[in-house]
Amino acid sequence: MAASALKIPVILASTSPRRIYLMSQIHLPIEVLTPQSDEKPLKGEKPNPLVSRLSTEKAQSVKEVALQRFGNCLIIGADTIVVSPNQQKILGKPKDRDEAIKMLKMLAGKTHVVLTGYCALMATLKKPDRKIVRVVQSKVKLRPLTRTLIEKYVDSGEPMDKAGAYAAQGLGMALIERIEGSYANVVGLPIAQVLMDLEKTFKISLFSWTK
């Protein structure tokens, strides 16, 4: 990808096509590195601590390689989960077709929460690291779905690598009745909130890279 116009490179610790797309929409040049993280919740781990931990682990996991390749850099890691309407279950990526159908039946016609945790890590060769870790919440209501519609959507293949077994873009847009909060957060990264944090904490002027 193109070199950043900022004073330091920006590294996205994610190979998610959705997050890469969101970054491209604001014309922020990034370098992509593949993070290493076991996304399974720890025993008794709640949703907010889970996405905070995973986003931090993902950012930290690429730090050594990023410093070797690019020197001082800003690393962004993120993790998105769906929480069941009764707030009792964390819905990650379905492991198979049956689980995807089960998730969509659980969500159909109801409101649930989508959480994205992100970690912005300022990694340097000589100074201590600085970081921001934040969790952003959006509420999503899916429209009522018939068994036939659910099966056709699952058979499209789109849900299989998505938390909660649906996408907020593509075919999945047809399933969503309403979103309260950040749409980008549901896609995978709350862009406006991230940029505000970068401006406040790291003094990175918004859209300075477009000049």
In the set 79, 96, 98, 129, the catalytic residue is 79
* DSSP SS3 for 32: strand
Q: Do the strands 31-32 and 90-91 form a parallel or antiparallel pair, or are they unpaired?
A: unpaired
DSSP-H helix ranges across the chain: 17-25, 47-61, 63-70, 97-107, 147-155, 183-187, 191-202
Structure tokens at 140: 């999503």
79 noted as active-site residue: yes
CA dihedral 111, 117, 76, 20 (to 10 degrees): -20
Catalytic residues: 79
